[in-house]
Amino acid sequence: MTEQFEPTIVGFTCNWCSYRAADLAGMSRIKYAPNVRLIRLMCSGRVDPQFVFKALAEGADGVLISGCHPGDCHYVEQNYKTMRRFALLKKTLAALGIEDARVKLVWASAAEGNILAEEIDKMVAEVRALGPLNWKGSEQLTVNSEQSAVGGRSSAVKEMSL
Amino acid sequence: MSKPKFAMYWAAACGGCEIAVLNVHEGILDVDANFDVVFWPVAMDAKYKDVEAMPDKSITLTLFNGAIRNDENAHIAQMLRAKSQVLVAFGACACEGGIPGLGNLTTKQAILDTAFSTVSTDNPKELRPQTTFKMPEGAIHIPTMYETVKSLDQVVPVDYYMPGCPPESHQIAAVVGLVIKALKGEAQLPPAGAVIGASQSTVCDECKRARGEKTITAFTRMATFQPREDQCLLEQGILCSGMATRGGCDARCPTANMPCVGCYGPAPDVIDQGARMMSAVASVVDSKDPAEIDKIMEGVADPAGTFYRFSMPSSLMRHART
Amino acid sequence: MQRITIDPITRLEGHGKIEIFLDPEGNVANTYFQIPELRGFEQFCVGRPVEEMPVLTGRICGVCPEAHHMAAAKAADAVYHVEIPRTAAKLRELLYSAFYVTDHATHFYALGGPDFVMGPDAPVAERNILGVIHKVGLEIGGKVIQARKAGHTVIEMIGGRKVHPCTSIPGGLSKGITVEQRDEIEKMGRWAIEFAQFSLKLFADIVLGNKAYVDLILGDAYTHRTYSMGMVDEKNHVNFYDGKVSVVDPEGKRLGKYAPSEYTDWIAEHVEPWTYLKFPYLKKVGWKGFTDGKDSGVYTATPLSRLNAADGMATPLAQAEYEKFYATLGGKPVHQRLATHWARLIELLYAAERWVELATDPEIASDNFRAVPTATPTEGVGIVEAPRGTLTHHYWTDERGIVTKVNLIVGTTNNYAPISMSIKKAAESFIKRGVVVSEGILNRVEMAFRAYDPCFGCATHSLPGQMPLQVTVRDARGNVVDVLKQFCD
Ligand code: SF4
Ligand code: SF4
Ligand code: SF4
Ligand code: FES
C-alpha cells in the first residue's frame, strides 16, 4: 500500500463566525478532514497577505481563510477588505505559479459548521490531488553571524512581527 | 596614524549606486580626507589580491551594492564580509535583490535560452555559455549563475541596510558624515541591522500631493493616461507604491508626476513589500461586489512585477514556482 | 618580473577576464576576452507593462541609464504608434545632451583620460581621477565636479531623478519644465560649452603637443580597419537622440543608412560558448571571425565611429573641431582606436552646444509635453546613440501593452568583437618572445580596450559600469605564466 499524501493546511478563522462554525462542527460531531491547523484571529480583516505567504513558504500546502458572511462582520466592513485583498492575493499567487485551489476564502456563519466542514473536506481533497507544495526558498547557504563587528543580521534570522 | 579604510564593491549591479556616490560631488573629497580608499572599482585601480591579503576586519566600512546572481558575487561577498568591520547592503539590489531580482519570476534556463535565441542572434547550433570551455590552447572559465537571485543578507550577515535604487546622494552624504563623526567618537552608530539613509515612514508621508478619500473604481496606467500633478496618483487609479515603500527620497517620482515604483524597499515594520502593497490597494478599491472587485483588479496587469518590482528575492516567497 | 599566483581565486575575480595563451616560442597564440555575467533583462522584462520599460531597462546600466531610458521610451512610443509632441522630443534630447556632457566628462577625466593626462607609463596608483586632480590641479578637478553636477541637475529637472530618471513614457514625458528651470538650464549649458572647449585645449596641450603620445595614437598597435556605425540626422550630421543609423566601410564609403525598424536586416549577433556576451556584426557582410577589413562584418560603434559614419557635426564649434580632427589625423576615416578619446571630446562640445540650442528653443518650456497614446500597442523599435555605441531596444506586446518579447543590442556589445581584436593585437605587439611581461605592458593592452570606454553593465548580459580586468598569460601547455589584475578604471 502506498502512503497517501496528507496535505498540511493552515486555516485563519475569525473569532466571531468561522471559528464558532468550526467549533460547532466539532461539537456536532460533523466529521471533517483533520489536515487543517486553525489559527484564530479576531477578524478575517486581520489576515495580512504576509501570513499567507509565510505559511506557504514555511511548509503549508494550502491556506484557508474564513470569516463572517459579507455584511455580518463584527468590525462592520472589514471582511469586504478581506474580499478585495483576497482577489489581489489570488492574482499574485497565480503569477507566482501557485495553483488556485491551494488558497481559499470561505464565508461561514457561527451556525454553518456543516458548510465549513464541507468546504474543508473539498479543499483537502483538491490539495491532496495537487500534491505537496514543497516550497523551497533560495538555495541554502550557511551564514556565519560571528563575522560581523556590530552583530549584523542575516535574513536567515529575520523574524516577522505579525 | 593611518586612516580608517573604506571599500565599495559591485556584484550583480548596474553601476548606478557607484554613480550616486560620485554624485555627492565635493563630498567625495571628505571621503578622501577621512578614509583610506582601499578598494573601489569604479573610481580607482585596485586588486582583489590586495584585499584578500588584508587581515580580517581591517576595512572599517564597506558599501556593497548589487545582488547575488552567481558564485563569483557570493565569493566576493564572503571575502568582503570577513575583511570588513561594518558591511552595508547598499542600494536596492543588495538590500532586496532589486530589478535583477525580477529574474526570480523566471528561470535561469529561460534567461539563457532567451538571450541566446533572440531575433538578431545568429546561433544555429543553439550554443549556451559553458562555465568551463576547452579551447585548443587550454580551458577557460566563467562563473556559474545561480538558479535564483539573492539579496546580500542571504549569503552573509549584513550590519546596515541603505535602500534606494540608487540611494539618494543627499542621504549618502548624511550617512558618510555620520560614520565620520562616529569614528571620531562624536556620534553613535545606529543599532545593528538598522536601515540607514532613509526615513522611518513611507513615501506617502513625504509626498506633497493632495489626498482625499481614496475610492477607486478602476485602475489605469501611465501608458494611456496623463495624471493631474496635484492629486494623489493612487486616487487617480495609478498603482503608486508609496504606501508600501519606505521614505527617504523626498517622494522623487510622484514629484515628477510618476508613480513610486518602490525602490526604497518595504516600509518600516514590513517584511514583504508586495503583501503590504496588496493590502494598501485592497483598502482603496470601492466595491463590495465580488464580480465587480474581480473586474477592477483586472486593471492590475502585472501583480507580481508591480508589487515586487525591487524585492522579489527578499519577499517571503523569494521566487516564483518554475 | 612580477609573478602573481592566481588560484584558487582566479575564476572568481572581476567582471572581465582576458586569457592570453603563448605558443612554445613565447609569442601570443591567442587571447580570449570573457564576460562573466548575465542578468537576463530580455527574459524577465516579459510580462511587464511596456510603459515601465524605460524605468526597468535603466537598471541595465547605471552609468548610462539615460540611454536605456530614451531607447526604451522611443521603443514604447513605437509600440503605441504615437508621435510625440515636439516639446517632448526636445526635452528628451535636452536631458540626453546634458547626460552626454556628464558621461563624456566622466570618461575623459576619471576613466579613460588618465592614461593620457598621467601618461601611459604612470604608476597604477596615479591613473585615476585623484591622480588627474593632483596633476592638473584642484581647480580643474573642481571644474570636472562642476560639469558632472550641472549635467545631473538637468537630468533631475527633466527626468525626475539624477540616476535612473523616470519621466519618459509612451507619448512623451510625465511633466515639463518651468521657464525658471529653462533659464537655469541655459546658464549651465553655456558654462558646459566653455568646459568642453577647455577640455579640448587640455587635450591639445597634453596629448597633441607630445610627440610620443601622437606616435602612440598613430601607431599600428591600436589600429583596426573595421566598418563604422553611428546615428545621423537628415543632413548626415552626428545625432545622439534620433535619426537613421549610418554605416560606412573601412574606406569611408557609406554602405547605407537604416531606420530603427530595419535593424534586423543589418545586424546579427554571433555566439561563442565561452562568454555570456554575444558578438554583433553586419549581416550584409557576414561573420568572418575576429578579423578586420572590408570582408569582415565586424564594426565599431564609438565616438570615433560616429564621426567616421557622419558627414559632420550639427553645431559650429564642434564642426570646426571635427575638421581639425581629420586634418590632423590624415583624413577620413580614422581607424586608430586611441583617437577615440579625442573624438569623445568633440562630441562633448557638440552635446554642450546642443544643450544650449535646445534650452533656448522657444517651445522647450511649453506644456505640450505629452500625447496620450490611443492606438492598440503592438511592436516597436527604439534606437539612440549611447555614449558607448548604438543602442537598440525592440519590444513586442499584447493588445494590453504587456511585453511578450524583448530584444536588446546594447552600446558596448556592438564593440565586443573589435575590443577582443584590439586586445589580441595589442598583446601580440607588446608580448613577444623574450620580452618580460610587465605592468606597463599590461596597461598598453588595457589601453587598447579602454579607448572604447567599455561598459559591460550595458551589455545587459553582464556587469556593470566600468570593467575590472584580469589578464592571465599561459604558456603553450596551458600553465599560468603570469596574472596581471586591475580595474580598468
Ligand atoms: S540598486 Fe539600483 S542603482 Fe544600485 S546597482 Fe542596483 S540597479 Fe543599480
Ligand atoms: S500613493 Fe503615491 S501619489 Fe499618493 S500620496 Fe502616496 S506617494 Fe503620493
Ligand atoms: S518615489 Fe519610490 S521609486 Fe521613486 S525614488 Fe522614491 S522610493 Fe524610489
Ligand atoms: S469578524 Fe468575522 S470577518 Fe470580521
3-state secondary structure at position A138: coil
Q: Which helix (H) or strand (E) holds A18?
A: helix A18-27
Nearest listed ligand to the Cα of residue A18: 4
Digit-by-digit pLDDT tens for chain A (162 residues) are: 457 899 999 999 999 888 888 888 888 888 888 899 999 999 999 999 999 999 999 999 999 999 999 989 999 889 999 999 999 999 999 999 999 999 999 999 999 999 999 999 999 999 999 999 988 754 444 344 344 444 444 443 333 333
Mean pLDDT of chain C, nearest integer = 83
The number of domains in chain B is 3
Lowest mean pLDDT among A138-152, B132-146, B251-265: A138-152
B154 and B290 both lie in a single domain: no
B136 and B276 both lie in a single domain: no
Closest residue in chain B to residue A47, using alpha carbons only? B279
User: Is residue C47 over pLDDT 90?
Assistant: yes
Per the domain annotation, does B322 fall within a domain? no
Under 8 Å between Cβ of B22 and B16:
no
B273 and B248 both lie in a single domain: yes
Nearest residue by C-alpha to atom 7 in ligand 1? C59
pLDDT digits (tens, 9 = 90+) for B87-137: 999 999 999 999 999 999 999 999 888 888 888 888 888 888 777 777 777
pLDDT of residue C464: 30
B77 and B9 both lie in a single domain: yes
Residues 6 or more apart whose CB falls under 8 angstroms from that of C363 comprise: C86, C87, C90
pLDDT digits (tens, 9 = 90+) for C403-435: 999 999 887 778 778 878 877 777 777 776 666
Which of residues C58 and A148 earns the better pLDDT score?
Answer: C58
Q: Is B275 part of the contact surface with chain A (CB cutoff 8 Å)?
A: yes
Q: Could you tell me whether strands A9-14 and A62-67 are parallel, antiparallel, or unpaired per DSSP bridges?
A: parallel
For chain B positions 198-227, those within 8 Å of chain C (CB to CB) are 221-227
pLDDT of residue B213: 82
Lowest mean pLDDT among A104-113, C194-203, C325-334, C436-445: C436-445
B266 and B298 both lie in a single domain: yes
The answer to whether the Cβ–Cβ distance between B98 and C59 falls below 8 Å is yes
Q: Which domains does chain A have, with CATH numbers?
A: 9-134 (3.40.50)
Residue A48 alpha carbon to ligand 3 centre in Å: 24
Nearest residue by C-alpha to atom 2 in ligand 3? B260
pTM above 0.80, yes or no: yes
Lowest mean pLDDT among B20-34, B108-122, C72-86, C170-184: B20-34
Per the domain annotation, does B196 fall within a domain? no
B138 vs C21, C46, C461: nearest CB: C21
Task: Judge residue C383's burial from the number of C-beta atoms within 10 Å of its C-beta, 0-12 exposed, 13-18 middle, 19 or more buried.
Answer: buried
CA distance A63 to chain B (A): 14
- Residues of the domain holding B112: 105-146
Per the domain annotation, does B228 fall within a domain? yes
Instruction: Tell me how far apart the alpha carbons of residues B268 and B253 are, in angstroms, rounded to a whole number.
Output: 19
B92 and B110 both lie in a single domain: no
The answer to whether the Cβ–Cβ distance between B120 and C263 falls below 8 Å is yes
User: Is residue C111 over pLDDT 90?
Assistant: no
Q: Is C63 part of the contact surface with chain B (CB cutoff 8 Å)?
A: yes
B167 and B86 both lie in a single domain: yes
The answer to whether the Cβ–Cβ distance between B321 and A148 falls below 8 Å is no
Per the domain annotation, does B162 fall within a domain? yes
Counting atoms of ligand 2 from 1, which one is nearest the CA of B235? 4
B176 and B129 both lie in a single domain: no
| Nearest partner of A35 among A136, A119, A134, A135, judged by Cα | A119
Lowest mean pLDDT among B11-15, B284-288, C166-170: B11-15
Per the domain annotation, does B283 fall within a domain? yes
Residue A161 alpha carbon to ligand 4 centre in Å: 22
User: Is residue B172 over pLDDT 50?
Assistant: yes
| Nearest partner of C423 among C123, C18, C65, judged by Cα | C18
B152 and B262 both lie in a single domain: no
Per the domain annotation, does B191 fall within a domain? no
pLDDT of residue A25: 85
B50 and B139 both lie in a single domain: no
B121 and B85 both lie in a single domain: no
Neighbour tally for B55: CB within 10 Å: 8
Q: Looking at beta carbons, which residues of chain B come within 8 Å of A70?
A: 288
Q: Which helix (H) or strand (E) holds B145?
A: strand B145-150
pLDDT digits (tens, 9 = 90+) for A49-90: 999 999 999 999 999 999 999 989 999 889 999 999 999 999
Per the domain annotation, does B192 fall within a domain? no
What's the CATH code of the domain at B73?
Answer: 3.40.50.700
Q: What is the DSSP letter of C469?
A: E
Give the mutation target among B99, B172, B264 for probing the ligand 1 site: most ligand atoms within 8 A of CB: B99
For chain A positions 58-87, those within 8 Å of chain B (CB to CB) are 70, 80-81, 83-85, 87
CA distance A50 to chain B (A): 6
Residues with C-beta less than 6 Å from any ligand 3 atom: B 203, 245, 249, 251-254, 260-264
The answer to whether the Cβ–Cβ distance between B154 and A141 falls below 8 Å is yes
Per the domain annotation, does B42 fall within a domain? yes
Q: Is B134 part of the contact surface with chain C (CB cutoff 8 Å)?
A: no
B131 and B161 both lie in a single domain: no
Nearest listed ligand to the Cα of residue B233: 2
